[in-house]
Amino acid sequence: MKQDALKAAVLISGTGSNLKALISAVAANALELDIVRVVSNRADAAGIHHAETAAIPVSVIRHTDYPDRQSHDAAVAETLKESRAELIILAGYMRILSEDFTREFEGRMINLHPSLLPLYKGLDTYNRVLQSGDDKTGASIHFVTAGLDSGPVISQVTIPVKPGDDADSLKERLGPQEHRLLTATVGLFSKREIDYRKDAVLYRGRVIKRPLKLQDDGGFS
């Protein structure tokens, strides 16, 4: 890995399949990224194993060990600062974040969300897509700001909703696309092609009017 590879920290709460996708892309030389730390708020998160296998330092910072959200977030922030991560990647980190925390990392913290934002912020996105009768859905990566799933959207991938789909089948089909989206989008960061301006995303120095769309060939349009 190059000396100046982008330093990133990944925050997880569970399976960590997106963390695994990043680790695999780095191992395959498809992504230039130095994952300097993984933070989990749960000691039993299966994803911790992926980090350990790749010899990435892991910090388990249990929210249940802190009296309130503020103090837990402060401990996580301290660890992230110590790690010297330039980019903070929330990949299945199932915590609502305090305003102080989002402000601290504004412009360099991104979140992966399983819907075409601004549609379906929050939880249970698959059932809400199905109930609405939408013929497509997808995943989004956005800069994290104080509002839940509300920061400027950087990139999206779309999949069709098919007859007979249920929440499980949608989730299963979206998963691999999320992995592609996260890897490709972090790749843009590692090439320093994405920047943040209050309420806007800059791609190669220009404000984008709509999210970058991931194509089948792995590029964006």
Binding site for ligand GRF (CB under 6 A): 12, 14-18, 47, 91-92, 112-114, 139, 178
The catalytic residue among 50, 113, 142, 179 is 113
Which residue lies nearer to ligand GRF by CB, 174 or 198?
174
- What one-character-per-residue DSSP string does the chain give? --TTPEEEEEEESS--HHHHHHHHHHHTTS--EEEEEEEES-TT-TTHHHHHHTT--EEE--GGGSSSHHHHHHHHHHHHHHHT-SEEEESS---PPPHHHHHHTTTSEEEEESS-TTSS-SS-HHHHHHHHT-SEEEEEEEE--SSTT-SPEEEEEEEE--TT--HHHHHHHHHHHHHHHHHHHHHHHHTT-EEEETTEEEETTEE-SS-EEB-TTS-B-
Which residue lies nearer to ligand GRF by CB, 122 or 218?
122
Which residue lies nearer to ligand GRF by CB, 154 or 207?
154
Nearest approach, Cβ of 134 to ligand GRF (angstroms)?
Answer: 17
Q: Check if 49 is active-site.
A: no
Which residue is at the shortest CB distance from ligand GRF? 92
Nearest approach, Cβ of 112 to ligand GRF (angstroms)?
Answer: 5
Nearest approach, Cβ of 148 to ligand GRF (angstroms)?
Answer: 12
Nearest approach, Cβ of 174 to ligand GRF (angstroms)?
Answer: 7
Among all residues, which ones are annotated catalytic?
Answer: 113
